[in-house]
Structure 1
């Protein structure tokens, strides 16, 4: 086993680095990117300094990986990523504030509305079908509604 570790060459580090960069495509939030770059940097050092021992290689790789990952984490904390559609994958939350008509009466606390191309279960006070309601919240996949005052 020690022979394998002692035989680490720059090709190993380049391979590991590019493998980690390829893994970043699957969405690790940037962490594999920086660890992959750390591996490539160690590979470049090993290529330029062939007598660079395996102990130093692993130490430099570990330090670079931790420093770059912590740096990336700090960068994301200081500069939070925002989007034009923060509720894109929260379909129920997108409907909060909308006004619609009950398709099925709210009976025993449950009813149904149609929003866009989907039917949604709703909860709220007793109301007949055809009542105008406003979506005021969501609980799991059940929209909370209130009667719209006219």
Structure 2
């Protein structure tokens, strides 16, 4: 079946696959399918040049496509990660981490290790030593959406 489809479309089958993958990247963005699409287009370019050569069978094309896909994904990932810019707002999308160091008053007492504080317009679940409501605490770390706090008087 694969051999028949490739024979009917000729070297253009790889071009079709490449453009379908690039279009799929637009529908489901994730900067992943683009690299596989580039690999398919590269095999398409080679197919245009080598279609009549005896060794250019569909099996060779698939193996080359697989190798180029892996190489393109690894190189693309490296390229995307290396172009990440440093920002003046490193905690912009890390709301809980941006609260480390802030102080607040316990809204609910910490009992059995869990309580609640209000920072700005949000209530946060806190973890720490048992403390009564109204105690001033400092956020020392985060665990997912939970904040770890300690008493301000205990830390100095």
Tell me if TM exceeds 0.5. yes
Which TM-score applies when normalising by structure 1? 0.74
**79-88 or 132-141, larger mean C-alpha shift:** 79-88
Which TM-score applies when normalising by structure 2? 0.71
Of residues 104, 120, 125 in structure 2, which corresponds to 1:100? Answer: 104
Change in 2 beyond 3 A, CA 1:64/1:105: closer
> Please, which runs of 5 or more residues in structure 1 have no aligned partner?
none
Distance 1:88 1:38 in 2: 35
Equivalent residue for 2:76?
72
**127-136 or 62-71, larger mean C-alpha shift:** 62-71
Of residues 118, 132, 135 in structure 2, which corresponds to 1:131? Answer: 135
Distance 1:83 1:18 in 2: 33
Equivalent residue for 2:66?
62
Q: Within 5 Å, give how 1:1-150 maps onto structure 2.
A: 1=1, 2-25=3-26, 26-28=28-30, 30-47=31-48, 50-51=51-52, 53-55=56-58, 56-75=60-79, 79=82, 81=84, 84=87, 85-149=89-153
C-alpha displacement of 1:59 = 4.2
**35-44 or 2-11, larger mean C-alpha shift:** 2-11
Q: Which runs of 4+ in 1 moved over 6 A?
A: none
Q: Give a deviation string over 1:79-129, Cα, whole Å, max 9, x none.
A: 374553554554333322211111122233322101222111212223232
Distance 1:128 1:32 in 2: 53
C-alpha displacement of 1:76 = 5.8
SS at match of 2:131: coil
1:102·1:114 contact (CA, 8 Å) conserved in 2?
A: yes
SS at match of 2:123: strand
Aligned residues: 148
C-alpha displacement of 1:50 = 4.9
Change in 2 beyond 3 A, CA 1:38/1:139: closer
1:9·1:43 contact (CA, 8 Å) conserved in 2?
A: no
